[in-house]
Structure 1
Amino acid sequence: MPASSLSPYTLNNGTPTPTAAHSQPGTEVELQPYTGGDSEREVPAQATDRSERPRHIFSKHRKWMTVYMVSIGGAFSALSSNIYFPAIDTISKDLGVSATDVGFTITVYMIIQGIAPSLYGSISDSRGRRIAFVTALVVYLAANVSLAFTSDLAMLVVLRGLQAAGSAATISISTGVIADIAEPDERAGFMGTNAGIRMIGQAIGPVIGGLLNSAWGFRSIFWFLSVFSALVLLGLLIFLPETQRTIAGNGDVPLRGLYKPWSYYFKLPKEWRNAPVPPAPKLEKLSWRTIVEPLTYVLRMDILVLLSWGALVYTIWSMVTSSTTTVLLKTFPDLTQWQVGLCFLPNGIGCVFGSVCTGRLMDRAFKRAETRYREEHGLANVNVKSQHDFPIEHARLSLMPYFSVIFIVSMALYGPSYDFNDLRRHFAGNLVASLGLQFIIASTATAIFNINSTILVDCFPDNSAGATATNNLCRCLLGAAGVSVIQPMIAKLKIRNAFLVLTGIAVVFSPLVWVQWRMAEKWRRNRLGA
């Protein structure tokens, strides 16, 4: 029956139930075939056992392989940002400019890093993940090759912006792929692993950058990124199938053209072998509306509060990270470029630790909340997230207060920790307190980012790339402002006082966590008209 002739409601055991076409936006509705009667209709998954039609036909092993693949592709944003930090002093000397001028390239990178995913996220949600991923990596590869020939500051600024335009987009696209294939109780684990792998670039990037810079100069960093991105691009072309659900369904729709990975030309998935190739899908027309619409999510109170706290934490963490080279060389002037790169390891390892651990903890918290909800409502084998009264915010946010408190306490100690180094600053042991606190700051900040990202995907599972891009925009624009003022703050207030000011700002805005816990469910239900 044509979609236009469907009633907005189908009967579910005698009870009218909205069809997917008329359900509220932002809810997760999985369609199941309706076999009662002689018409072909569809009813939401809450009326049936979810196992009858999984979110995606991939096996658990194949899902994990896909998560690993797109996460490596998504690692370029953090890697490109942090591999650059140990070379700031070298770049300023090579190009004959100040460290503040080179720091401006970091600000530009973060601004573009915030804006670009809004465009790519809309392309990903409307035209497909695979096309958006390949386009972003081609732009990124071209930028890196050009950066290897940098000869002046203006060229560096422009090309770093182009590099950010390619690398940052991969985050929202990889999140979109995960949203396409993950069941609700798998999502936090996949998201945590995705963030953890991406943050490996945060951990090893400065070490690689310090090594390459000390051996062959800062331009070798961009040659390394060129080769790495070319290999990842080739891997995605060979192995990554399209997962966008309008195009690929739940994986059982045979793909064609650019949506089909090269490996499928040699061996088709078994689910496709007897299936006819469908006509080209009719995709939503890409317009400014599709690009701008995800940005309107910020106008919804539950999303606004969530993004505000996450953006503030991201900004403070970015200010800690971007100032590390300057702070270390000011406090320990005898450190080599290689040693400065090694000093970024605690921060990066903290990001990986926070991402992976938070994903697993959130999965457990979600399953406990899901079990409790089923028992209280007498439900079985139902997609509980499609129920408007399921407390998804409490299921996801239960860990947020703990991480937020630890983050604030660590920030309060971080600035003063450099005062401990005054007596014997030539010993590396004096760095333990400061770098140990960087580990804690990074792990708790990343945990907060991971919780925010997971809730956003929960709220907008069918527009996950756009929602992630909006999150990225808020964080990066505020982060760019923070990074642009941290060096003047340190120069004027000194290290200790500068970071104590940031701690005070975090304390002032920390009640947002409590507001989100108490009010988010009510705001969400009002937004959905439930």
Structure 2
Amino acid sequence: MDTNHPSAGSASALQPKTPALSPPLDPPPYTIFQKGEKAILMLILSLIGFCSAISSPIYFPALPTLTSYFKVSEAVINLSVVAYLVFQGIAPTFVGSVADVIGMRPVLVLSAVVFTASCFALSQTNVYWLFAVLRCIQAAGIAPVVAVAASVSGDVCTPRDRGGFVGTVSGMQLVGNGFGGIIGAALILGFNTWRAIFVFLGILGGFAMVLSALLLPETSRLIVGNGSIVPKSILNRLLFSVLPHFRKQLTNDYSTLRKRNKLDLLSSYKILVVPEVFASLVPSGIHYAGWTIALTSLSTELENRYKYSVMHVGLIYLPQGIATLVSSVVTGKALNYYYRYRRAQYDEKYKDTAPENRPSFNISRTRIDICIVPATSMVIGLLMFGWCLQYRKAAISIIIASTLISFSTVSLISCATTLLVDLFPGKSSSSISCLNLVRCMLAALFTGILDHLIQSMGLGGCYTFMAGLCLLSDLMLVCIILVRAKKVMSADTVSEKQALEESEEVTEKQPTSKAEESAIDTGNVLLENRQPKLS
């Protein structure tokens, strides 16, 4: 009771109506999406992303058949692979920026529509030039979903559980790269035509389109905040939001809205200059390029050197496909566990320090530490793969090598994706588009010069060269992160000393309210200090 009021009785009567005397309200939850709803989101995003990832490797077993059908050389047919990768890299850099402004749902549904239409058109094509053009449209249509899916994870997950969501979704998407070869081979063998591949992709895309149109909610915090705000545009509204279960959650809490960004089609390119981003993009891109050319060589070399049938080649793809699936789950759990471990250490060390005086939590180091094991296994896998193929070693050695390569690449890309979402929660689509651009461009470059590399250095020399590039890029990543960490530590020394002095003078204060726990959980204050301004 406020003793400054003239009347205690009147003060008591007016207390419920007086804001100054009301108990502090708990902050709204970061998101209204519950665990089950997040699981549905994860399933839909993984399926749409799977369509994007599988469209490239499912095509590899058909390359010899397409060369004969269109009566073109192997070099010319490889141009369709390169063109696909180029458009897969460029398209998201523009569409991702649009998604950050107009919302995630319209972009995901439209991408599925374009992909489905282009797949059915490809299945009816009879001339090579049109086939190549449609492949470019197919890539441009479906590629943005990878970046948008990562942005959704930033909208519905805090850093504490973001690693598991992002790692699982991005990993499950890349499972398409692992299983694409065997699925393509099975379709060609079963239907005796390459057209079956694109009919299958069209059906898969159509299913993803219907599922996303019916069940995928809008998650952009610019439009729906934490999910409690009814979107103004019908394109962002979920059909089932009229049901009582969803209507009671739509409280229109406008305090959770994020400040609207201006449309900046070059935002993905501006993010490239951030040291942590550049340092994580280059290794991820080179590792992905190594994986891509390994998948390309696998189909052609096994057929030419080992005289395997299409189905036999497809079976060789199966173990490394399983490795991508395992990697996505393991990496997601590892990212979550290690974040909580490092965050608990940080909170324990500075428990007596006021939050505003704490040094910045090193989120970059927390994510990148996970990369040490997969980066090492990637180098080993590439060396094994090249020399075992060159000397025609037993098929089991090829399977082990390709499994190491697949597991490592998925793990590294999952870590890089999670880091970018952490650093740019408000520009997740643009930042992941940047990752997609680098990895696809590097994959296109090395796919384009693959034949030249093999002819010049042999298979063993080619993949030794790639292993060396991977190792150098990994060392660059470690050096940049360590240098940046030292700068952050030196910059925070003054504030840390000041905080320790304050802790001796004031009473220890532990976070007890939900408001304080929410602030610590999301880590927004700490992340804002580490997010660069891109304007």
Q: Same fold (TM over 0.5)?
A: yes
Give the counterpart of 1:213 among 188, 191, 205.
188
| Cα distance in 2, alignment partners of residues 209 and 466 from structure 1 | 32
Alignment pair present for 1:138 and 2:138: no
Give the counterpart of 1:149 among 124, 136, 152.
124
| Cα distance in 1, alignment partners of residues 44 and 353 from structure 2 | 34
| Cα distance in 1, alignment partners of residues 469 and 172 from structure 2 | 30
What RMSD in Å do the two structures reach over aligned CA positions? 2.8
CA contact (8 A) 2:119 2:198 kept: yes
- Residues 526 and 181 of structure 1, relative CA distance in 2, 3 Å threshold: closer
Deviations 1:250-300 (A, max 9, x none): 011123512112222445514346x4799xx9995864xx11022111112
| Cα distance in 2, alignment partners of residues 324 and 130 from structure 1 | 37
The one-letter code matched in structure 2 to 1:155 is: L
CA contact (8 A) 1:301 1:523 kept: no
Describe how 1:436-447 pairs up with structure 2 within 5 A: 436-447=400-411
Cα drift, residue 103 of structure 1: 1.1
CA contact (8 A) 2:276 2:364 kept: no
Bigger mean CA offset, 484-493 vs 129-138: 484-493
- Residue in structure 2 matched with residue 433 of structure 1 by the alignment: 397
| Cα distance in 1, alignment partners of residues 80 and 470 from structure 2 | 26
Describe how 1:182-331 pairs up with structure 2 within 5 A: 182-216=157-191, 217-256=193-232, 257-267=234-244, 269-272=246-249, 275=251, 287=263, 290-331=264-305
Deviations 1:123-148 (A, max 9, x none): 11100000111111111112111101
Give the counterpart of 2:445 among 478, 481, 488.
481
| Cα distance in 2, alignment partners of residues 349 and 252 from structure 1 | 38
The one-letter code matched in structure 1 to 2:223 is: I
Deviations 1:296-328 (A, max 9, x none): 111122211121121111111211112221111
- Residue in structure 2 matched with residue 87 of structure 1 by the alignment: 62
Alignment pair present for 1:507 and 2:471: yes
Bigger mean CA offset, 518-527 vs 237-246: 518-527
- Residue in structure 1 matched with residue 493 of structure 2 by the alignment: none
- Residues 209 and 528 of structure 1, relative CA distance in 2, 3 Å threshold: closer
Give the counterpart of 1:376 among 323, 327, 349.
349
- Residue in structure 2 matched with residue 22 of structure 1 by the alignment: none
CA contact (8 A) 1:56 1:250 kept: yes
Matched pairs, number: 471
- Residues 146 and 122 of structure 1, relative CA distance in 2, 3 Å threshold: same
Alignment pair present for 1:455 and 2:419: yes
Describe how 1:492-503 pairs up with structure 2 within 5 A: 492-503=456-467
The one-letter code matched in structure 2 to 1:308 is: V
SS in 2 for 1:249: coil
Deviations 1:464-484 (A, max 9, x none): 011000111111111110111
Give the greater-gyration-radius structure (CA).
Answer: 2
Cα drift, residue 339 of structure 1: 1.6
Describe how 1:50-129 pairs up with structure 2 within 5 A: 52-129=27-104
Cα drift, residue 171 of structure 1: 0.5
- Residues 393 and 283 of structure 1, relative CA distance in 2, 3 Å threshold: closer
Give the counterpart of 1:411 among 382, 407, 427.
382
Deviations 1:153-203 (A, max 9, x none): 211211111110112111011111111101211100001110232123223
Please, which runs of 5 or more residues in structure 1 have no aligned partner?
1-34, 39-47, 423-429
- Residue in structure 2 matched with residue 9 of structure 1 by the alignment: none
The one-letter code matched in structure 2 to 1:395 is: T
CA contact (8 A) 1:255 1:277 kept: no
Give the counterpart of 1:464 among 413, 428, 442.
428
| Cα distance in 2, alignment partners of residues 511 and 285 from structure 1 | 35
Cα drift, residue 380 of structure 1: 11
Alignment pair present for 1:393 and 2:367: no
Cα drift, residue 357 of structure 1: 0.8
CA contact (8 A) 2:385 2:463 kept: yes
- Residues 227 and 521 of structure 1, relative CA distance in 2, 3 Å threshold: same
Give the counterpart of 2:324 among 347, 351, 358.
351
Query: How many percent of aligned residue pairs carry the same amino acid?
Result: 24
SS in 2 for 1:421: coil
CA contact (8 A) 1:254 1:277 kept: no
- Residue in structure 1 matched with residue 506 of structure 2 by the alignment: none
| Cα distance in 2, alignment partners of residues 54 and 381 from structure 1 | 23
| Cα distance in 2, alignment partners of residues 206 and 238 from structure 1 | 31
Please, which runs of 5 or more residues in structure 2 have no aligned partner?
1-17, 489-528
The one-letter code matched in structure 2 to 1:390 is: F
SS in 1 for 2:56: helix
The one-letter code matched in structure 1 to 2:467 is: T
CA contact (8 A) 1:148 1:223 kept: yes
CA contact (8 A) 2:228 2:252 kept: no
Normalising by structure 1, report the TM-score.
0.83
CA contact (8 A) 1:86 1:210 kept: yes
CA contact (8 A) 2:384 2:397 kept: no
Bigger mean CA offset, 346-355 vs 154-163: 346-355
CA contact (8 A) 2:383 2:460 kept: no
CA contact (8 A) 1:68 1:197 kept: no
- Residues 277 and 371 of structure 1, relative CA distance in 2, 3 Å threshold: closer
